[in-house]
Amino acid sequence: LTSRIQHLLDCTEEEDKILAVTFTKKAAMEMQHRLERSLSLQEEEVLGEGEYEEGEITQEEYGTKKSTSLNRVTLGTFHSICAKILRWHGPHLSTLPSLSSSDTIMDGNFVIMDQSDQLKLIKEILTSLGIDL
């Protein structure tokens, strides 16, 4: 998958964006590291020994290109990508018929809790209410 992303970065217009979705945080982190490593290796191959002929790309220019390439890629888990969409477009989603009838306003002020976070919160609430299980 990293090779496909690299290929798309090389072959598409600079304005084009790439969305890469994984199911786990570990996979997203590994893919991010692989992509960064792949771009660094490509940079080393292009720049070689640092001797540039007129008209060739300089190290500074290539570093900017590498940074721009990484900015074109949105990479994350299914949940993190969906959370970004909700945060970016929450006000528009609030106008949907299923939400507009309630007092729900999608303002981006929310968190996504995994199972352990949920359990911890429930225990804290029960403790604060004096309920001991």
pLDDT above 90: residue 109: no
Burial (CB count within 10 angstroms: exposed 0-12, middle 13-18, buried 19+), residue 118: exposed
Q: Is residue 106 part of a domain?
A: yes
pLDDT above 80: residue 97: no
Domain of residue 107: give its range. Answer: 2-128
Q: Is residue 45 part of a domain?
A: yes
Supply the pTM of this predicted model.
0.60
| 46 confidence band (pLDDT: 50, 70, 90) | low
Summarize pLDDT for 17-32 with one digit per residue, the tens: 999 999 999 999 999 9
Our count of domains for the chain comes to 1
Q: Which of 81, 89, 87, 86 is nearest to 24 (CA)?
A: 81
Can you read off the two tokens belonging to residue 79?
């949940």
Q: Is residue 133 part of a domain?
A: no
Q: Is residue 41 part of a domain?
A: yes
Q: Is residue 16 part of a domain?
A: yes
Predicted pLDDT of residue 128: 95
